[in-house]
């Protein structure tokens, strides 16, 4: 094989594995092998730029940055859908249809995926362009970002037409959404509200490498073009699957509205088990000839109808809007409601998110409001019942001063949230930072809880987390409900935290954007707090996975005199602010890039085994997949794990084998 053939064959092979993994969910090689092949391809491409192909699987990792997204006019308009909410609505629709077309009408029922619509154009089997819906007539070219979504085929297989558009939805499955939010929570950032907005926001990120990190997926539902040789909707879904697209299997061909309703009723319950969110069903006339006869209204196709699942909704009175201050100073407005039953729980409060949201709803104290529990975690206020608005009512004026410390609030350009800038003197920020410092994933101080921290601050016994180390039993005893025993526990817990490793202390400092993972990376790279404190922005960015935002925030933290002083005090108390010599001696890169699953009972404690893996540069994962490099099997390893590892061809090794691996 010459170089060009080698490159082509690697590309085809990698593309097949991508399809098996991300579309069919049945991988046949391990991640390690996949990465090897990808690296091989990247090396060849680098040495031979003359064979470049924008649709090479190597472009999946992202990296290209888009400053301005180009506007593209859709060759075929992207319509919206009409909504129906009842059997009667659907029957009316059928009556209208039957007046316009001859013959029997069958329907394809599909789930309505809740994400951001996308139109993909393919030419000669290669992805040419990906455009957002925009206003339906024209949208933004987001091709660079879409290419990072692994279930979007860059090259097609089978007998695809030379040119066509395919439409679908970019979604973010629940699991990935929850992981993203856990990370944000650890960073003290405002949580993403729902998967749909997060998916749709992802499309317009400027850095495609950021998009590549998000676990997005693309589900397709419509092929558009000329002379496609397809006659029904259900057939087109199968074709799309054959060409390599991800099309959920829930779709069903039915022959009456009765059957449509059966489909709806089934999925109204079963949807709760889906890995992603769906807010209804889309019913489409199956015969494409009939679709053409029916055509479009100004806004939507006449041949399709969305049936919306009912979100549970109630109305109640808004008593008062209050404002919460978080540990980073972010202000969140909260709606305090007259308690009301909704979907099995009593709802008393709902988040109003920010000033824009209040303005958009024009929500006022005393209003009767509609509260809904849909796909969101927190109940949401969807509208005000204007018919019930009291005669005397004034628009809500957003606070301009911090409710806790009266400092004038700031709102940075482009940010939705207001902030209290009084880091040093604002009580909830002071308390919040200390609570973060003592939390389980940080210094994990036993015998000290969040409420006690608040009390200690209130009593002026502590002002920052370094003050914890000077607390004495005598100081604590006069406090309410503080017995000798609990006071001793607290002081001992604080003492014990001096052995907590550097990376967790670094996380505990509460530097914005420095979550658990970033703290680990920084600790490992710099090994000492002083090296981090004096690193330049350039230097910080050169560390694997540290971006500009994080670097800026680290620098801002250490620029502050108070923070530098805080660190010096922690040092003086003996808190771990460097990687200990002992630990350093036990560290290596031997297992870099390898993922381990640990299963069964071992001679050494399980946690020590996991730590050994991480100290040597490996990753520990809890479930076996094609990404697993090794399963370390102890006594009594579960039979299902054994079977899974065997079927995926993952190497199974003993504790002894493992120790040899790192010697």
- Count residues binding ligand AMP (CB under 6 A): 11
- Name the residue number minimizing CB distance to ligand AMP: 117
Candidate list 18, 58, 117, 236; residue touching ligand AMP; CB under 6 A: 117
How many C-alpha atoms does 511 have within 13 Å on its Cβ side? 31
User: Site residues for Zn ion, window 18-37 (CB under 5 A)?
Assistant: none
Marked catalytic residue, from 39, 98, 112, 560: 112
**Of residues 335 and 430, the one with the C-beta less far from Zn ion:** 430
To the nearest whole angstrom, how small is the minimum distance from the Cβ of residue 240 to ligand AMP? 12
Candidate list 38, 81, 105, 260; residue touching ligand AMP; CB under 6 A: 81
Decide the pairing of beta strands 304-308 and 83-84. Answer: parallel
Say whether 627 is catalytic: no
Q: Which residues contact 93 (CB under 8 A, 6 or more apart)?
A: 82, 84, 305
**Of residues 114 and 464, the one with the C-beta less far from ligand AMP:** 114
**Tokens linked to 300:** 């939507």
**Of residues 305 and 466, the one with the C-beta less far from ligand AMP:** 305
For residue 440, count CB atoms less than 10 angstroms from its CB and return exposed for 0-12, middle for 13-18, buried for 19 or more: exposed
To the nearest whole angstrom, how small is the minimum distance from the Cβ of residue 458 to Zn ion? 15
Candidate list 107, 113, 245, 469; residue touching ligand AMP; CB under 6 A: 113
Selection from ligand AMP, Zn ion, none that 112 binds (CB < 5 to 8 A by kind) is ligand AMP
Alpha-carbon distance 612 to 660, whole Å?
Answer: 12
422 binding Zn ion? (CB under 5 A): yes
Q: Is residue 316 a contact partner of residue 344, using CB atoms and an 8 Å limit?
A: no
User: Site residues for ligand AMP, window 136-195 (CB under 6 A)?
Assistant: 169
Q: Return the range that interacts with ligand AMP (CB under 6 A); candidates 110-118, 202-210, 376-384, 517-525.
A: 110-118
Selection from Zn ion, ligand AMP, none that 190 binds (CB < 5 to 8 A by kind) is none
80 binding ligand AMP? (CB under 6 A): yes
Alpha helices by DSSP H, 218-287: 233-243, 257-270
Pick from 425, 453, 494, 466: nearest CA to 566: 466
User: Site residues for ligand AMP, window 286-315 (CB under 6 A)?
Assistant: 306
Alpha-carbon distance 609 to 292, whole Å?
Answer: 64
Give the bridge partners for 264, in sequence order.
none
**Of residues 387 and 460, the one with the C-beta less far from Zn ion:** 460
Report CA 454 to chain centroid distance, whole Å: 31
Hey, is 78 helix, strand or coil? coil
To the nearest whole angstrom, how small is the minimum distance from the Cβ of residue 562 to Zn ion? 16
405 binding Zn ion? (CB under 5 A): yes
**Of residues 268 and 365, the one with the C-beta less far from ligand AMP:** 268
221 binding ligand AMP? (CB under 6 A): yes
Alpha-carbon distance 345 to 169, whole Å?
Answer: 32
- The Cβ of residue 545 has, within 10 Å, a number of other Cβ atoms equal to 11
SS3 for 153-215 is CCECCCCCCCEEEEEEEEECCHHHHHHHHHHHHHCCCCCCCCHHHHHHHHHCCCEHHHHHHCC
Q: Is residue 80 a contact partner of residue 117, using CB atoms and an 8 Å limit?
A: no
Alpha-carbon distance 115 to 129, whole Å?
Answer: 19
Selection from Zn ion, ligand AMP, none that 637 binds (CB < 5 to 8 A by kind) is none
Selection from Zn ion, ligand AMP, none that 420 binds (CB < 5 to 8 A by kind) is Zn ion
Alpha-carbon distance 143 to 163, whole Å?
Answer: 17
Determine which helix (DSSP H) or strand (DSSP E) holds 558, and give its type and residue range: helix 548-559
Cα dist. 307→73, 79, 86, 296 in Å?
29, 16, 8, 18
Selection from Zn ion, ligand AMP, none that 422 binds (CB < 5 to 8 A by kind) is Zn ion
Q: Return the range that interacts with Zn ion (CB under 5 A); candidates 264-272, 295-303, 395-403, 523-531.
A: 395-403
Tell me phi and psi for residue 349, to 5 degrees: -135, 150
Candidate list 282, 453, 598, 609; residue touching ligand AMP; CB under 6 A: 282
**Tokens linked to 151:** 């279930």
426 binding Zn ion? (CB under 5 A): yes
**Of residues 194 and 628, the one with the C-beta less far from ligand AMP:** 194
To the nearest whole angstrom, how small is the minimum distance from the Cβ of residue 551 to ligand AMP? 37
**Of residues 77 and 193, the one with the C-beta less far from ligand AMP:** 77
328 binding Zn ion? (CB under 5 A): no
Interacting residues toward ligand AMP by CB under 6 A:
80-81, 110, 112-113, 117, 133, 169, 221, 282, 306
Interacting residues toward Zn ion by CB under 5 A:
402, 404-405, 407, 420, 422, 426
Q: Cite the active site residues.
A: 112
């Amino acid at each position: 094989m010459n170089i060009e053939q080698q490159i082509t064959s690697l590309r085809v092979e990698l593309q097949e594995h991508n399809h098996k993994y991300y579309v069919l969910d049945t991988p046949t090689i391990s991640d390690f092998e996949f990465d090897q092949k990808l690296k091989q391809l990247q090396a060849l491409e680098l040495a031979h730029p003359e064979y470049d192909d924008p649709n090479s699987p190597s472009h999946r990792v992202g990296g290209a940055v888009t400053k301005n997204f180009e506007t593209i006019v859709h060759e075929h308009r992207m319509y919206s859908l009409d909504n129906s909410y009842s059997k009667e609505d659907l029957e009316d629709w059928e009556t209208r249809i039957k007046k316009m077309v001859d013959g029997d009408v069958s329907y394809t029922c599909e789930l309505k995926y809740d994400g951001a619509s996308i139109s993909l154009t393919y030419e000669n089997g290669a992805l040419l362009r990906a455009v957002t819906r925009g206003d339906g007539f024209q949208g933004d070219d987001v091709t660079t970002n879409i290419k990072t979504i692994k279930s979007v085929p860059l090259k097609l297989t089978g007998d695809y037409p030379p040119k066509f558009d395919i439409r679908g939805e970019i979604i973010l499955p629940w699991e990935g959404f929850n992981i993203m939010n856990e990370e944000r929570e650890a960073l003290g950032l405002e949580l993403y509200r729902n998967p749909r907005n997060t998916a749709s926001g992802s499309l317009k990120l400027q850095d495609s490498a950021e998009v590549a990190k998000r676990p997005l997926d693309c589900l397709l539902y419509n092929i558009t073009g000329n002379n496609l040789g397809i006659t029904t909707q259900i057939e087109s879904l199968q074709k799309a699957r054959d060409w390599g697209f991800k099309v959920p299997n829930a779709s069903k061909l039915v022959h009456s509205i009765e059957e449509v309703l059966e489909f709806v009723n089934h999925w109204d319950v079963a949807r709760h088990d889906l890995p992603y969110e769906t807010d209804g069903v889309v019913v489409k006339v199956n015969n494409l000839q009939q679709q053409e006869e029916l055509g479009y209204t100004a806004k939507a196709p006449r041949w399709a109808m969305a049936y919306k699942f009912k979100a549970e909704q109630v109305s109640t009175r808004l008593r008062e809007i209050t404002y919460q201050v978080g540990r980073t100073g972010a202000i969140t407005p909260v709606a305090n409601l007259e308690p009301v039953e909704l979907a099995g729980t009593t709802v008393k409060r709902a988040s109003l998110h920010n000033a824009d949201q209040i303005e958009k709803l024009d929500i006022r104290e005393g209003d009767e409001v509609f509260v809904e529990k849909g796909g969101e975690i927190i109940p949401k206020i969807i509208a005000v019942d204007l018919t019930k608005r009291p005669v005397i009512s004034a628009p809500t004026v957003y606070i301009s001063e911090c409710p806790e410390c009266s400092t004038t609030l700031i709102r940075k350009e482009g940010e939705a949230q207001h902030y209290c800038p009084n880091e040093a003197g604002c009580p909830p920020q002071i308390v919040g930072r200390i609570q973060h410092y003592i939390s389980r994933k940080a210094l994990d101080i036993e015998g000290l809880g969040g409420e006690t921290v608040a009390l200690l601050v209130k009593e002026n016994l502590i002002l920052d987390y370094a003050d914890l180390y000077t607390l004495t039993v005598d100081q604590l005893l006069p406090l309410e409900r503080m017995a000798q025993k609990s006071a001793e526990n607290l002081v001992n817990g604080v003492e014990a935290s001096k052995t907590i490793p550097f990376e967790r202390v670094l996380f505990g400092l509460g530097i914005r954007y420095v979550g658990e993972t970033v703290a680990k990376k920084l600790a490992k790279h710099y090994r000492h707090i002083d090296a981090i404190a004096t690193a330049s922005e350039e230097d910080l960015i050169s560390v694997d996975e540290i971006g500009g935002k994080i670097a800026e925030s680290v620098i801002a933290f250490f620029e502050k005199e108070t923070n530098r002083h805080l660190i010096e005090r922690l040092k003086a108390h003996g808190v771990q602010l460097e990687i200990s010599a002992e630990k350093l001696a036990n560290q290596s890169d031997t297992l870099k890039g390898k993922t381990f699953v640990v299963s069964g009972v071992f001679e050494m404690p399980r946690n020590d085994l996991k730590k050994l893996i991480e100290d040597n540069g490996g990753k520990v994962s809890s479930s076996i997949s094609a990404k697993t490099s090794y399963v370390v099997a102890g006594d009594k390893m579960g039979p299902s794990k054994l079977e899974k590892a065997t079927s995926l061809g993952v190497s199974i090794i003993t504790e002894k084998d493992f120790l040899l691996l790192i010697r």
